[in-house]
Structure 1
C-alpha cells in the first residue's frame, strides 16, 4: 500500500493506562501504512511517554486540564487556534470517545472517525464524527482501541497483531538502582481508593516473595504507604521518583509487575513483561490476558457501564493467591 502522503491523527488525550493500551495500534498502522505520518493529540501531562516514539511524527500537547484549572479564556482561545491551524489530515481518529476528545478532534481539519452512539458513555460525542464504528463498550479495551483505528483506516483486524506485538515503547539501559538477579515492581497506587490493594496485603505479599520488591508510587500519600510497607517487609524498597519515560524503562527491566488497575501496571503488558493486575471495582476487560499477563479479580460483580467506585472488594483478594500466581510467572 502506498502511504507516502497519508496523514493520520490519533486523538487519545488521557489517562495514562488508556494511552498505554492504545499505543499497540501504532505498530499495526505502520504495518499497513509504512510511510504514513502519524500525529498523536494528548493531554500535556502525558505527552512525555509518547514524545520521541519512533513510529510517531509529532506529539501535540492539548492543555485541557490547565484550561479547566486556570479558567483562562486566552489559553482556550490559543489552543483552539492552534488546533485549527494544523495541516489537514486524511484520517482523524478519536480513540477515546469522550465529549472532550470529540471536540478536540472536530477542531482539527479533516474527516473524523469515532465510536457510534451505542459504543460510548458520552453519546453526544458521536455527533461530532463523520463516520463511526460499532464496537460495544463492554469489549476488551485493547481490542476496542485497535478496532476503531483499524476500521477507520480500512485495515483488517487481526488478533495476532496484538498477541505478537513488539514492546510498545523504546527501552533504554537497565536502571542502576535495580539489584542483580530478579526484581519485582509493585504498583501500590491508583486513581481511586477502591482500586488500591491494601498496604497490609502488599506487605504480606512482599514478605513472601524471594526477590527485591520495588514499590512504585506517584503521590505523597502513596509514598507514605510505601514507607509503611518497607517497615513491615524487609525486601520491600521504595522506588525512586521517576518521569514517565524513566518509569516505562524501569518496568521494562523488571521480571514481574504486580499492581492495581492503573497505568504503570499496564506498562508491564506494553513492554512484554510478566504482570499480575489486581481488580476490585473494575474487571479483566481492562487488560489483554496472555500467558505472562494475568488478572486476579475480587468476588464482586462489575457493571462496566456503571462502575461502583465504592466497591472495596479488592481487599478480599488473598495475598497468598497473588503469591502463588507470582511463583508461576517468576518460574
Structure 2
C-alpha cells in the first residue's frame, strides 16, 4: 500500500506529522509513504524509514511569479512526478488551499479534515473524503487521529515516537566529550524574540556553569545576534551556517536546547533532547514542542498570550539591566523569563 502525504511547510508542521507516520507504519508493515514538501525542508521526511520518495515543491519560490512558474519546465516536471504513481490514498495533512490543490493534481483518493476543523475550509473542495478532528487538540494529536481514521488502525496515545533514524541524517555523527547546550535564538515573528541581552546574560550563566554554548544562525540578522550573544565569551561558539541535517547532528550531540518559539525547537523535541522553550505572545497548548523532556515557560504578563505578530502593548515600558547597562524588554511579555530562572529551570530539566 502506497500513500502520499502532503505537508509542504513549515518546519514545525512537518515534524508534527512524523509521529503519525510511525503509528501508521507500526499498524501496517507493508505501508510505504511518499511525501510532498517544500524544497527547503527536503531532508526532514527522508529521516523517517517509512518514507520512500520525497517530492520537492517550490511554492514559496514559484509564487513570486505565478504565471512564469505555471508554464516553466520545473512545474511540469513536478506535476509529472506527482502523477507518476497512482496512490491508494492521498492525505492532505496541511489543510490549506495550496496543499488541497496539490492533492487534486495527484492520482488517488484524497483525504483531509472537514470544513469545520480545517485551517482553510475551501481546501475541502479538493477532497474525496473528510474527517472531523477537534481543533482544541495539539497539532500532533490531530494529525495522528486523521491518519488513524483514514488508514483504519488504533494507536497508543501515551507513546509519541517521531521515528527519526539518526543514521539517515546526513553528515558526521558527532560524539562530544564537552558539555554543550544549543541556543535556538532565531524565529519568524518579531514578537517571538527573547531579548538579545537576555540571551547574552544566559550565555554567561551557562558558560560559568561549565557548558559550551553553540549558536546556529540562518540569515545575516541571526548572525549579528549570535555575535552579540557571544561577545567577550570564549566558551560560546558561533557555528558555520548549517543545513538542517548538520544542525540536527549538533542538537543530537548536545546535552539540551534552549529555544524560542521556532521550528528548530520542534526538531530538538523530535530528537528527544531536553528542550526548554520560551513563550511570550504565543500559546504552546496547540502547537508547542511535544514529547518527552519538553518544558514550556509561558509568560504571566497581563496581555499574554496575544498571538500577535506586532506587539500591541501600550502600558508603561519594562526595563531590565545587564552588566550595568539598562535596556527595554521588547516585547514586555518576555520580562517573565529572567535568564537566571531560565537556567535554573533548564538545569532541573537536565536532571530529570
Q: SS of the residue aligned with 1:57? A: strand
Query: Against the structure 1 CA distance between its residues 232 and 34, is the aligned structure 2 distance closer, same or farther, given a 3 Å change threshold?
Result: same
Query: Against the structure 1 CA distance between its residues 123 and 230, is the aligned structure 2 distance closer, same or farther, given a 3 Å change threshold?
Result: same
> Contact between 2:7 and 2:94, CA under 8 Å: does it hold in 1?
yes
Deviations 1:176-218 (A, max 9, x none): 7x5x232100001001111111111111111112211111211
For residue 238 of structure 1, report the CA deviation from its aligned partner: 0.9
Q: 1:3 maps to which residue?
A: none
Stretch moving more, 11-20 or 147-156: 147-156
Distance 1:42 1:314 in 2: 34
Distance 2:111 2:332 in 1: 38
1:192 is aligned to 2:189:
yes
> Contact between 1:185 and 1:213, CA under 8 Å: does it hold in 2?
yes
Query: Against the structure 1 CA distance between its residues 141 and 52, is the aligned structure 2 distance closer, same or farther, given a 3 Å change threshold?
Result: closer
Q: Which of 23, 27, 33 lines up with 2:28 in the alignment? A: 33
Based on CA coordinates, which of the two structures has the bigger radius of gyration? 2
Query: Against the structure 1 CA distance between its residues 110 and 100, is the aligned structure 2 distance closer, same or farther, given a 3 Å change threshold?
Result: same
Q: Which of 76, 79, 86 lines up with 1:78 in the alignment? A: 76
Q: 2:166 maps to which residue?
A: 170
For residue 77 of structure 1, report the CA deviation from its aligned partner: 5.1
Query: Against the structure 1 CA distance between its residues 147 and 66, is the aligned structure 2 distance closer, same or farther, given a 3 Å change threshold?
Result: same
In the alignment, structure 1 segments of 5+ residues that lack a partner are 1-5
Which structure 2 residues correspond to residues 108-127 of structure 1 after superposition, within 5 A? 108-127=106-125
TM-score (norm 1): 0.89
1:292 is aligned to 2:311:
no
Distance 2:292 2:270 in 1: 14
Q: 1:69 maps to which residue?
A: 64
1:261 is aligned to 2:280:
no
> Contact between 2:90 and 2:109, CA under 8 Å: does it hold in 1?
yes
Which structure 2 residues correspond to residues 87-166 of structure 1 after superposition, within 5 A? 87-162=85-160, 165=161
Number of aligned positions between the proteins: 319
Distance 2:265 2:271 in 1: 11
Distance 2:200 2:349 in 1: 20
Q: 2:322 maps to which residue?
A: none
Deviations 1:148-170 (A, max 9, x none): 112111121421331xx265242
In the alignment, structure 2 segments of 5+ residues that lack a partner are 312-330
> Contact between 1:278 and 1:314, CA under 8 Å: does it hold in 2?
no
Q: 2:328 maps to which residue?
A: none
> Contact between 2:18 and 2:163, CA under 8 Å: does it hold in 1?
no
> Contact between 1:114 and 1:126, CA under 8 Å: does it hold in 2?
yes
Distance 1:256 1:80 in 2: 39
Q: SS of the residue aligned with 1:323? A: helix
Query: Against the structure 1 CA distance between its residues 124 and 208, is the aligned structure 2 distance closer, same or farther, given a 3 Å change threshold?
Result: same
Distance 1:117 1:313 in 2: 37
Distance 1:84 1:222 in 2: 36
For residue 128 of structure 1, report the CA deviation from its aligned partner: 1.4
Q: SS of the residue aligned with 2:137? A: coil
> Contact between 2:178 and 2:212, CA under 8 Å: does it hold in 1?
no
For residue 221 of structure 1, report the CA deviation from its aligned partner: 0.4
Distance 1:106 1:137 in 2: 24
